[in-house]
Amino acid sequence: MRVTFMAGKRMRTLRAVGALGAIGALSAIGITACSSSDIETPQSQPQVANGTKATLALLETTDIHTNLLSYDYYKLAEDKSLGLERTATLIAAARKEFPNTMLLDDGDTIQGTALADYQAQVAPIDCKTTLGVYKVMNLLKYDAGTIGNHEFNYGLPFLAQATGSAFDVPNMSPVASQPVCAGPTFPLVLSNVLGAKSQQPIFKPYAILERTLTATTPDGKTVSAPVKIGVIGFTPPAIMAWDKRWLDGNVYTQGLVESASKYVPEMKAKGAQIIVAMSHGGLDNSTYSPSMENGSYYLSKVPGIDAMLIGHSHQVFPDKNSTVTQFNLPGVDKVKGTVNGVPTVMANFWGKHLGVIKLALNYTNGTWMVDRNSSTAEARSIQNADNSYVAVDPAISQASAAEHSATINYVKTPIGSTDFRMTTYFADVGDVSAIEIVNQAQAAYVQDYVSANLPQYAGIPVLSVSAPFKSGFGGGNDFTDVAQGNVAINNAADLYLYPNTIYAVKVTGADLKAWLETAAKRFNKIDPANTAAQTLVSTYPGYNFDMITSKDFSYEIDVTQAVDSRIRNLKYQGAAISDTQSFIVATNNYRASGGGNFPGLDGSKTIYASPDASRDVLIAYIKKVQTIKAASNGSDRSWRFTKVATAGQVTFKAAPNLVALAQTNGITNVTQLQADDGTGKGLAVYSVNLNQ
């Protein structure tokens, strides 16, 4: 089956995809977003009797981040806990289970692994080559997808190429002269990112997918019945800060509510009977703002939205046991999977889960209506109840074999060596073995730039902050771990996970203290008198646990104090830092532009927004150093916990059986309590003695 739709001024033909049963001669498939004239209206539609019922299963993947295979390119090893090749098995099972399914992707798709970087930056694909992740998604016959924030990481020209799009934006050639490249054979929709001049969405804002349902009439007969499903996409408006270097002057964003309020009625007017919102963002019930990062809570209140697929925060919803704040808001039912009554799912990240919303449809008064009370939502894990994992779909590794082996060759390229093991297992308790080299590379790079180009800032101390990006959130394998010996690109990628760029900000001593106070949210408040065990590490992400690692700086974190009152004895070269003292801090585009909401870091303090990737700066630094040494590159702890005797144990989690490693790296106050924490994630429970 072929589908045509308008893309700009050019007509484009796509292979139709979709798993809604066999599409009979009665219903041509039309995919449209441009105008009603683009809908290929079926010549004759069967009459559907009022009272006819059908179940439509919406299958969601989100935040796949190009994890096609169950493979960790930083460790060069299998990791069964992730990968679309296993989600594919859940997809196939759901397609067998339900007569009517649609497979939808919620974004953060093209970035996140070394394979993604390889295809975008190291050996960029040409126009006729389909990006690996879209090749696999084409194979899996997705029905539609939306665009996450990370889709913008490689810039607009690459995004246009990879998605087979043309963008009407100031810094790209006119749409008519842009090539139409290979891309997904399913529609990508995004309603809230608009061209700066065109004032039109750069992607199709929505699509109306015509499908044939297997349905049951009131008298019990099985029939085929047509349905028009509108899918609309949203991305976090915060992309304007996160990828400012690519987006500023080219595009702007609209709020989710504003975009939905414009397009949902338009979709209805064009015949959409069911509206599915694919929103790459979580839930936040603080006062609505068009620039809010996680706007899906308010999106759910826009009339006409029948189901929401959400993402971005890498969580599971529904989950009756969830302690995540966003799933414990008024109006959010974390058991049933509804947000203000709208059936909603979030399928975790990296292919770990498949979201399934079973929409109960009733044909009423000549159209399909969703029966919310009879609809259900669930997130299905690729991990079985016995902690084993579902099998892989072998078609995925077959389809991505060439990309996979090219990526492995790329990441094995040696660039230097290290005389110690560089890890983040104990970064939460002071180990800087995997962080100092990053800070050294960033600080040296910024110092060189300031010396060469910014004479007005000469003499201001340059320091750097970085964080343990991999700190166990995904389990025992989700830590940085670079073995002693040769260091290759995969190790540099392990040391620096994200495709960020280097930014430098100029701050005061007061700003610096506030920065470190925010980072110290990483810890729960510890009550020294409590005789029960207390968990040291909070849900605050490791990648926001910015720390200084320098001989010139020292500070304490007092975890017995409330958030924002924890940083003590902040000193530079042995002297207390005054509130008005100036510092230049090397960091990344994410942090400098407002990522993580650090006080005052809203882009206004940036003095240098480098186009150079943080990871490339690190690779260049390692090439220059050649031999990384523990004494000079991995042991300058600037911070310690304020000493305190606690009546009970203070615990944290890391991969098991690593006390000896901690000791080697100078962390002598930890003990392993349990080699297995019981979560099935490969984590052990350790205690830390805060009085040592």
By the criterion CB under 5 A, which residues form the site for Mg ion?
Answer: 108, 148-149, 312
Amino acid identity of 268?
A: K
Preceding peptide of 343 cis, ω within 30°: no
Helix (H) or strand (E) holding 621: helix 614-625
Contacted by 111, from Mn ion, Mg ion, none: CB < 5 to 8 Å by type: none
Who's near 205: CB < 8 A, 6+ residues apart? 33, 189, 190, 191, 232, 233, 259, 263
Q: How far is the CB of 63 from Mn ion (least distance, A)?
A: 4
Q: Which residue has the tokens 């919310």?
A: 372
Contacted by 656, from Mg ion, Mn ion, none: CB < 5 to 8 Å by type: none
Contacted by 423, from Mg ion, Mn ion, none: CB < 5 to 8 Å by type: none
Q: How far is the CB of 474 from Mg ion (least distance, A)?
A: 15
- Part of the chain binding Mn ion (CB under 5 A), chosen from 88-96, 105-113, 190-198, 407-415: 105-113
Residue whose beta carbon is closest to Mg ion: 312
Contacted by 165, from Mg ion, Mn ion, none: CB < 5 to 8 Å by type: none
Q: How far is the CB of 238 from Mn ion (least distance, A)?
A: 13
Amino acid identity of 47?
A: Q
Report the residue number, 108 or 168, with the smaller CB distance to Mn ion. 108
Who's near 599: CB < 8 A, 6+ residues apart? 511, 514, 515, 518
| Pick from 119, 131, 202: nearest CA to 165 | 202
Report the residue number, 108 or 436, with the smaller CB distance to Mg ion. 108
Q: How far is the CB of 117 from Mn ion (least distance, A)?
A: 15
Residue whose beta carbon is closest to Mn ion: 108
Who's near 84: CB < 8 A, 6+ residues apart? 61, 64, 67, 68, 69, 133, 136, 140, 351, 396
Q: How far is the CB of 117 from Mg ion (least distance, A)?
A: 17
Q: Which residue has the tokens 């935040």?
A: 63
Who's near 662: CB < 8 A, 6+ residues apart? 425, 426, 429, 431, 668, 670
Assign 609 to helix, strand or coil: strand
Report the residue number, 63 or 511, with the smaller CB distance to Mn ion. 63
Residue pair 296/311 in contact (Cβ under 8 Å)? The answer is no
- Part of the chain binding Mn ion (CB under 5 A), chosen from 61-69, 166-174, 244-252, 286-294: 61-69
Q: CA distances (Å), 347 to each of 113, 357, 360, 606, in order? A: 19, 11, 20, 35
Site string for Mn ion, 12-51 (x = CB under 5 A): ----------------------------------------
- Residue 426: burial class (beta carbons within 10 Å; 0-12, 13-18, 19+): buried
Report the residue number, 242 or 425, with the smaller CB distance to Mn ion. 242
Report the residue number, 190 or 618, with the smaller CB distance to Mg ion. 190
- Part of the chain binding Mn ion (CB under 5 A), chosen from 57-65, 522-530, 582-590, 672-680: 57-65
Q: Is 106 in the site for Mn ion (CB under 5 A)?
A: no
Q: How far is the CB of 276 from Mg ion (least distance, A)?
A: 19
Contacted by 70, from Mn ion, Mg ion, none: CB < 5 to 8 Å by type: none
- Part of the chain binding Mn ion (CB under 5 A), chosen from 63-71, 183-191, 481-489, 668-676: 63-71
- Residues near Mn ion (CB under 5 A), total: 2
Give the total residue count for the chain: 692
Contacted by 517, from Mg ion, Mn ion, none: CB < 5 to 8 Å by type: none
Q: How far is the CB of 246 from Mg ion (least distance, A)?
A: 16
Q: How far is the CB of 601 from Mn ion (least distance, A)?
A: 21
Residue pair 64/355 in contact (Cβ under 8 Å)? The answer is no
Report the residue number, 216 or 291, with the smaller CB distance to Mg ion. 291
* Per-residue tokens: 489: 């690109």
Q: Report DSSP state, residue 429.
A: G
CA angle in degrees (0–180, nearest 5) for 7-11-13? 100
**Residue 409 backbone phi and psi in degrees, to 5:** -60, -45
From CA 109, how far away is CA 493, in angstroms rounded? 18
Q: How far is the CB of 65 from Mg ion (least distance, A)?
A: 9
Q: Is 63 in the site for Mn ion (CB under 5 A)?
A: yes
Q: How far is the CB of 581 from Mg ion (least distance, A)?
A: 36
Amino acid identity of 638?
A: S
Binding residue (CB under 5 A) for Mn ion from 72, 79, 106, 108:
108
Report the residue number, 108 or 319, with the smaller CB distance to Mn ion. 108
DSSP letter string over 225-239?
A: EEEEEEEEEE--TTH
Report the residue number, 108 or 481, with the smaller CB distance to Mg ion. 108
Q: Which residue has the tokens 């690593």?
A: 658
Strands 414-418 vs 627-628: parallel, antiparallel or unpaired: parallel
Contacted by 105, from Mn ion, Mg ion, none: CB < 5 to 8 Å by type: none
From CA 492, how far away is CA 631, in angstroms rounded? 19
| Pick from 470, 383, 337, 349: nearest CA to 86 | 383
Contacted by 187, from Mn ion, Mg ion, none: CB < 5 to 8 Å by type: none
**Residue 320 backbone phi and psi in degrees, to 5:** -65, -20
Q: Is 284 in the site for Mn ion (CB under 5 A)?
A: no
Q: Report DSSP state, residue 36.
A: G
Q: How far is the CB of 652 from Mn ion (least distance, A)?
A: 25
Q: How far is the CB of 349 from Mg ion (least distance, A)?
A: 9
Report the residue number, 108 or 481, with the smaller CB distance to Mn ion. 108
Report the residue number, 313 or 480, with the smaller CB distance to Mn ion. 313
Q: Which residue has the tokens 């994410």?
A: 590
Contacted by 237, from Mg ion, Mn ion, none: CB < 5 to 8 Å by type: none
Q: How far is the CB of 110 from Mg ion (least distance, A)?
A: 12
- Residue 35: burial class (beta carbons within 10 Å; 0-12, 13-18, 19+): exposed
Contacted by 428, from Mg ion, Mn ion, none: CB < 5 to 8 Å by type: none
Report the residue number, 95 or 312, with the smaller CB distance to Mg ion. 312
Contacted by 149, from Mn ion, Mg ion, none: CB < 5 to 8 Å by type: Mg ion
For binding to Mn ion (CB under 5 A), which residues are involved? 63, 108
